[in-house]
Structure 1
């Protein structure tokens, strides 16, 4: 027999399912993908400039820490200030173009993706909340 987790043990018949935010899911996905981009950009910048200019280890550590910040931002993106942190990370990703010009293009592309996720994710969350209110009103008006 499989072991049940806490949420499975707490479930009761008729219990409503807590809806996850589409905006938070989109934002978390984008931040994880950006963390991978930061790691690969760091390796590329290290390969192009790190050995020539010296300071290779601090460069790699800095990009590793930055990638970790992108990952950890996923945990707070559901808070109001977490979205602001995400916008700040978008600006930081674009500014990486100072070190490698192609990162301007990549950063702008991810920034546009982030903006789309914030707008459409928010719209989807509002639509889902409206649909849930209508469903609750219908169920209250039509008991079994």
Structure 2
């Protein structure tokens, strides 16, 4: 799960940075405000790469997804990107857990059975 979720979060890091560039063109937003908010969100996405397997890590990831969708009020394209990355986050968590369970079953099966290379 860690690899899939981290890949999604790193993708979000870049999307947040590009959204910051677009938001700078908005006349109602100051450059310092845009980069403060984007910088915090980018730092949070990288930090979550290390926290995703800890208790509450996935929940914090969902909070980032909600914030990404909400950023669409300032950069309208982020509604679409937020939903897209929300779907990617769901898939990363869902299939990542399935992969982790399959790895655990395989490891338990390999530890419980004799070496099959000698049988061949």
Q: 1:133 to 1:46 in 2, by over 3 A?
A: same
After TM superposition, which residue ranges in structure 1, 4 or more long, deviate above 3 angstroms?
Answer: none
TM-score, normalisation: structure 1: 0.76
Unaligned runs of 5+ in 1: 1-22
Aligned to 1:27: 5
CA separation of 1:86/1:54 partners in 2, compared to 1, >3 Å: closer, same or farther?
closer
Scaled by the length of structure 2, the TM-score of the pair is: 0.90
Q: 2:34 aligns with which of 38, 59, 70?
A: 59
C-alpha distance in 2, partners of 1:109/1:72? Answer: 21
Please, what is the CA RMSD of the aligned residues? 1.9
Cα gap change, 1:127 to 1:54, in 2 (>3 Å): closer
3-state DSSP of counterpart to 1:74: helix
Q: CA deviation at 1:62?
A: 1.6
The aligned counterpart of 1:135 is 110
Aligned 8 A contact 2:24 2:30 in 1: no
Aligned length: 118
Question: In the alignment, is residue 114 of structure 1 matched against residue 89 of structure 2?
Answer: yes
Structure of larger gyration radius = 1
Deviations 1:88-126 (A, max 9, x none): 111111111111111111110010011011111111110
Runs of 5+ in structure 2 lacking a partner? none
1:20 is matched with which residue? Answer: none
